[in-house]
Amino acid sequence: MQKMNLPTLTRKGPLEVPSPTEKDWPDDNEEDYVLKDPDQELDSLPQPYRMINKLVNLLFDRSWEVIEERNALREAKSTWIQPTIYHPLAEIQFNKMPNCMAVSQDYVFIGGAKGFSIYNLYNAKRIYVWEKLKVDVTSIWATDLGNEILIAPVDEMGIIRLFYFYKDGLFLVKAINEVDDTSKQTTCIKMEISQGGDFAAFLLQGAGEVWLDVYKLPKESWLKEVEHAQLTLNAKKRVRPLQLSTLDSITSDNLEMENICFKGDIKLSLPVHIMKIKPPKPVTGTTFKSPLEVFAKIEDCYGLGSGQNHFIKDSQWEQQAEIFNASYKKYLDGAWEEEPLSMATFHFLLNSCIFAMPPEVKSPSGVACVLGIHWTRSHNFFLYSLNRTLKDKIDPEGVWPCAAPIAASRLSCSSSYLVLACEDGVLTLWDLAKGFPLGVVALPEGCFCQSIHFLKFFVVHKGQNMYPEGPVISQMKCVVLCTDASLHLVTANRTQGPTISVLVERPVKHLDEAICAVAPVSALPGMVLIFSSNGSVCLMDVAKAEIICAFAPPRSYHLVVPWKPVFVVSLHHPCFFLQGDHPGEIKSTGDDGDIQYSVFYFNFEAYPLLQNIFKNCTIPQKDLTDTTAFPQALPLEKRCAHLLEKSFQKLEKSQVKEQEHWTRLRRYSLLLQRESFKK
Strand 515-521 relative to strand 499-504: parallel, antiparallel, unpaired? unpaired
Q: Distance between CA 441 and CA 456 in Å, rounded?
A: 20
Within 8 A by CB and 6+ apart from 499, the residues are: 441, 490, 491, 492
Q: What angle do CA 424, 426, 427 make, to 5 degrees?
A: 140
119 and 97 Cβ atoms separated by less than 8 Å = no
Band of residue 280 on the pLDDT scale cut at 50, 70, 90: confident
Count of CB atoms situated within 10 Å of the CB of 646: 11
Name 420's bridge partners.
409, 428
- How far, in Å, are 4, 26, 150, 256 from residue 142 at the CA level? 75, 79, 6, 21
Please state which of the ranges 93-102, 206-215, 399-408, 623-632 shows the lowest mean pLDDT: 623-632
Band of residue 676 on the pLDDT scale cut at 50, 70, 90: confident
Q: Distance between CA 266 and CA 275 in Å, rounded?
A: 27
Q: Distance between CA 117 and CA 131 in Å, rounded?
A: 8
> Tell me: the pLDDT tens digits for 418-440?
999 999 999 999 998 888 889 99
Nearest residue to 416 via CA among 332, 474, 494: 474
Taking residues 170-187, what's their average pLDDT? 90
> Tell me: the pLDDT tens digits for 584-617?
544 444 444 455 788 999 999 999 888 888 777 8
User: Cα 63 from chain centroid?
Assistant: 38
* Tally: H helices and E strands in the chain: 9, 37
Name 213's bridge partners.
202, 276
548 and 111 Cβ atoms separated by less than 8 Å = no
Strand 272-277 relative to strand 261-262: parallel, antiparallel, unpaired? unpaired
pTM above 0.85, yes or no: no
Q: Distance between CA 270 and CA 161 in Å, rounded?
A: 12
Taking residues 27-33, what's their average pLDDT? 53
Question: Read out DSSP for 632-667?
Answer: GGS-HHHHHHHHHHHHHHHHHHHHHHHHHHHHHHHH
User: Which pLDDT value is given to residue 213?
Assistant: 94
Q: Distance between CA 351 and CA 228 in Å, rounded?
A: 33
